[in-house]
Amino acid sequence: MIDDSHWKRVADLIEPGNRILVITGAGMSADSGLPTYRGVSGLYNVTDTEDGIPIERALSGPMFQRRPQLTWKYIHQLERSCRGAEPNLGHTTLAQWERHGIHMCVLTQNVDGLHERAGSKGVIPIHGTLRNILCTACKATRVVEDYEGLSPLPLCEHCNGVLRPRVVLFGETLPQEETSALYRETSLGFDLVMSIGTTSVFPYIAAPMRYAREWGALAIEVNPGNTEVSPYADLRFPLRSVPFFERLNKDVVLN
């Protein structure tokens, strides 16, 4: 049983003018029907793929360079797992807070684009999004609703170059635009830091929870299990995302 005072401590910080950082992982989208286990944004729970190699190799930058059609095979599987998913109460609640004058920064590892579809503007998709497509040759970009019309190895209509989603594959560096945005936001500090549905194994995902006390921020974690950042949380809520927001919303008052 979570003490009522814990919910109130969090709710009291959700008010216009405050700065809130929300760090989300695959658990945030679990209640939208997306899986939470291995792979980019979760999908695979096996040691090797059907091609006899680990999913981390199949979905890696080096493999894409050598055998783009193989990597695209598993990118297509990832996209199909996300297709038709709708934002859940967690996504829509964060967007609502933003609309009420709270400075929201959503640092997400998810590539499903559900935060943006829910209406959040202050999103830093640190691993990219599947809907953004880039030509590796001429660098033309476009946004697609889904991959229904894409071939097994999509090619650019302008130059016939190989297309790819603007996501970070295994072995690739983080995008400069997103990392710069994260640096700008964290340099200003926050009043509340929330880690939701992520095991926080990447240092850049765990860092804000470790820095929260330096900012004077309340650090909370929402996750059924213990993670890398559990020792840094002032309050832990061992819940999935939607049950957490269902209960928290009872104490949040937005004018």
CATH of the domain at 140: 3.30.1600.10
Contacts of 210 (CB under 8 A, 6+ apart): 229, 232
Would residue 253 count as lying in a domain? no
98 and 156, same domain (yes or no): no
What CA–CA distance (Å, rounded) separates 228 from 226? 7
pLDDT at 42 (0 to 100) = 47
What are the catalytic residues? Answer: 127
Q: Are residues 29 and 93 in the same domain?
A: yes
Same domain membership, residue 160 and residue 51: yes
**pLDDT beneath 70: ranges in the chain:** 36-47
Q: Is residue 254 part of a domain?
A: no
Q: What is the pLDDT of residue 143?
A: 94
pLDDT tens for residues 187-221? 999 999 999 999 999 999 999 999 999 999 999 99
Contact (Cβ atoms closer than 8 angstroms) between residue 233 and residue 19: no
Q: The domain containing residue 79 runs over which residues?
A: 35-84+128-167
User: Could you tell me if 68 and 132 lie in one domain?
Assistant: yes
Residue 54's pLDDT is 87
Q: Is 14 helix (H, G, I), strand (E, B) or coil?
A: coil
Q: Could you report how far apart the first and last alpha carbons of the chain are, in Å?
A: 29
Contacts 24+ apart (CB under 8 A), 235-240: 235/6, 235/9, 235/10, 237/2, 237/6, 240/27, 240/30, 240/31, 240/197
